Amino acid sequence: MSKHVSVLDQYPDYALNIGIEVHVQLTTASKIFCATANGGGTTPNSCICIVCAGYPGVLPVLNKNVPNLAILAGLATNCQITRRSIFARKHYFYPDLPKGYQVTQADEPICTQGYIPIVLEDGSIKKIRLIRIHIEEDAGKNIHAAGTNESFVDLNRAGTPLLEIVSYPDIESTYEAKAYLKALHQIVRYIGVCTGNMDEGAFRADTNISVRKKDATEMGTRCELKNINSFKFIGDAVEYEIERQIDMLESGQKIVQQTRLWDTQQKVTRAMRSKEEAADYRYFPEPDLPILEIDDAWIERMRAQLPELPFAKAQRLVQEGLSAYEADIIVDDKDLADYYEAARALTGSKQLVNWILRDLLGYLKEHKMDLAQCCMTPTYMAHLMDLLDKGVINAAAAKEVFAAVAATGQHPDDVVKEKGLQQIGSVDELEAIVKATIAAYPEQVAQYRSGKDKMFGFFVGQVMKDTKGKGNPAIINDLLKKNL
């Protein structure tokens, strides 16, 4: 892997610390404290009830699937699961939070002290430690109508269950920040707790960045980049922020702790507000919810549901012969990984991964299609590889078969038969054609024998023509060399 260039390379005296908080929307059927559908409602405020709309006097009831998914996420990230965790109220005023507080967890979060492994540029493994994972509810949305002074409140999102996953500031480069986020993004999708859809806000990262002189014992003052919704933007924003903070320090200015936004147009970060301290929120235990008690049996029940995790899968695929690059692409999408493994179970062909990465992904991209919509099933793909490996068809014919199967769902054998793509593969058959060709062009044979090597290509072309492109090129080459 090539070294990723960072602005930090230009400042060898400086070091970087990044801690990331990720908010993950959980895929439960209903919201966290009421029976209202989770994620429903295309028209504003069409998917709310008196609980999630924050009417006074209503009582929350915890959706049991929320701790289920939180435990799953904790186990998948090597956390300890807290046996008695407590909900808390975090107070702040915002129009999209009618209760005036958010129900979250403060002192006793459901998961603590985990880690997520990432692969560094030199191939070594680094564990990014997690401080905690806690459960909380999402707020609604304020909508500021363009070109007017009006603002609106949509509470459809209010009460959506969230996990907040908080890392230690162990991340020391832009590369590591992106690798960490991608790893976490893969995990939550693999275990099925979150769709991972960043455009829809299902996976939102707040990135805390601070720079310091390498020999400084204390970390620098941090700035938080809020809610950036793509890995690329996060990388760009981190790079910008490294340079901004170092420039300030170099010119003798003091960095103020604040929350900043990434301006995708101007490609700069802008101050949004000075960062609140925890004391500003006046946390206290939520009196309307009982202590959440989790026993060993519950934890083991969730552990039994854990699939093979992406990091382990990628390592296994590399052991089984894929390159790190190939394994990375295959593992990044669970559906693609499942596809690969289903086909792999049916064929030993070395060409399989190539055909999946090049032809299958190329086809999906070209036709703007999901894997599930494509008629080239893992079974057909494996069979196509076998046809190719056994020399029944050549590579050019395999491409034709691929395209036909992907479009129609026909069996590869039927396509081969229908289109007459079967290779003329037997040596006897081909040798007869080779001999006939040589006999038909005595002049060219004489030229070749007198040292015109490039005449060889002429004979290959003639034989391929006589076999209507269905001859095995390797065998034809051998036979021509033998007979000329």
Task: For residues 328 and 309, give the distance between their C-alpha atoms in angstroms, rounded to a whole number.
Answer: 13
In the bound state with Zn ion, the residue whose beta carbon lies nearer, of 36 and 173, is: 36
Task: For residues 259 and 282, give the distance between their C-alpha atoms in angstroms, rounded to a whole number.
Answer: 20
Instruction: Supply the minimum distance, in Å, between the C-beta of residue 89 and Zn ion.
Output: 18
Buried b / exposed e over 230-250, threshold 16 CB at 10 Å, is ebebbbbbbbbbbbbbbeebe
In the bound state with Zn ion, the residue whose beta carbon lies nearer, of 104 and 112, is: 104
Q: At what angle do helices 174-190 and 334-344 cross, to 10 degrees?
A: 70
In the bound state with Zn ion, the residue whose beta carbon lies nearer, of 36 and 104, is: 36
**Nearest to 11, CA basis, from 214, 217, 297:** 214
**Nearest to 79, CA basis, from 179, 7, 186, 184:** 184
Please select the residue that binds Zn ion; options are 25, 27, 28, 36, rule is CB under 5 A: 36
Instruction: Supply the minimum distance, in Å, between the C-beta of residue 338 and Zn ion.
Output: 35
Cβ neighbours around 364 below 10 Å, total: 17
In the bound state with Zn ion, the residue whose beta carbon lies nearer, of 157 and 260, is: 157
Contact 192, 29 (CB under 8 A): no
Per CB under 5 A, which of residues 323..382 are in contact with Zn ion?
A: none
Q: Is 85 in the site for Zn ion (CB under 5 A)?
A: no
In the bound state with Zn ion, the residue whose beta carbon lies nearer, of 34 and 228, is: 34
In the bound state with Zn ion, the residue whose beta carbon lies nearer, of 31 and 244, is: 31
Q: Is 75 in the site for Zn ion (CB under 5 A)?
A: no
In the bound state with Zn ion, the residue whose beta carbon lies nearer, of 45 and 264, is: 45
Q: Is 15 in the site for Zn ion (CB under 5 A)?
A: no
Q: Is 460 in the site for Zn ion (CB under 5 A)?
A: no
Instruction: Supply the minimum distance, in Å, between the C-beta of residue 52 and Zn ion.
Output: 3
Task: For residues 382 and 379, give the distance between their C-alpha atoms in angstroms, rounded to a whole number.
Answer: 5
Please select the residue that binds Zn ion; options are 37, 49, 289, 371, rule is CB under 5 A: 49
CA distances from 483 to 56, 256, 433, 471 (A): 94, 82, 11, 17
Find the part of the chain contacting Zn ion (CB under 5 A) among 28-36, 189-197, 238-246, 429-437.
28-36
Find the part of the chain contacting Zn ion (CB under 5 A) among 26-34, 102-110, 183-191, 397-405.
26-34
Q: Is 47 in the site for Zn ion (CB under 5 A)?
A: no
Residue count at the site for Zn ion (CB under 5 A)?
5
In the bound state with Zn ion, the residue whose beta carbon lies nearer, of 66 and 314, is: 66
Find the part of the chain contacting Zn ion (CB under 5 A) among 50-58, 95-103, 331-339, 453-461.
50-58
Q: What is the CA radius of gyration of the chain?
A: 30
Q: Is 421 in the site for Zn ion (CB under 5 A)?
A: no
Please select the residue that binds Zn ion; options are 15, 20, 52, 139, rule is CB under 5 A: 52
Q: Which residues pair with 293 in a beta bridge?
A: 84
Instruction: Supply the minimum distance, in Å, between the C-beta of residue 40 and Zn ion.
Output: 10
In the bound state with Zn ion, the residue whose beta carbon lies nearer, of 289 and 342, is: 289
Please select the residue that binds Zn ion; options are 18, 24, 51, 139, rule is CB under 5 A: 51
In the bound state with Zn ion, the residue whose beta carbon lies nearer, of 55 and 325, is: 55
In the bound state with Zn ion, the residue whose beta carbon lies nearer, of 36 and 186, is: 36
Q: Is 66 in the site for Zn ion (CB under 5 A)?
A: no
Find the part of the chain contacting Zn ion (CB under 5 A) among 29-37, 215-223, 293-301, 337-345.
29-37
Find the part of the chain contacting Zn ion (CB under 5 A) among 1-9, 43-51, 83-91, 403-411.
43-51
Find the part of the chain contacting Zn ion (CB under 5 A) among 45-53, 107-115, 243-251, 476-484.
45-53
Q: Is 34 in the site for Zn ion (CB under 5 A)?
A: yes
Instruction: Supply the minimum distance, in Å, between the C-beta of residue 158 and Zn ion.
Output: 8
Q: Which residues bind Zn ion (CB under 5 A)?
A: 34, 36, 49, 51-52
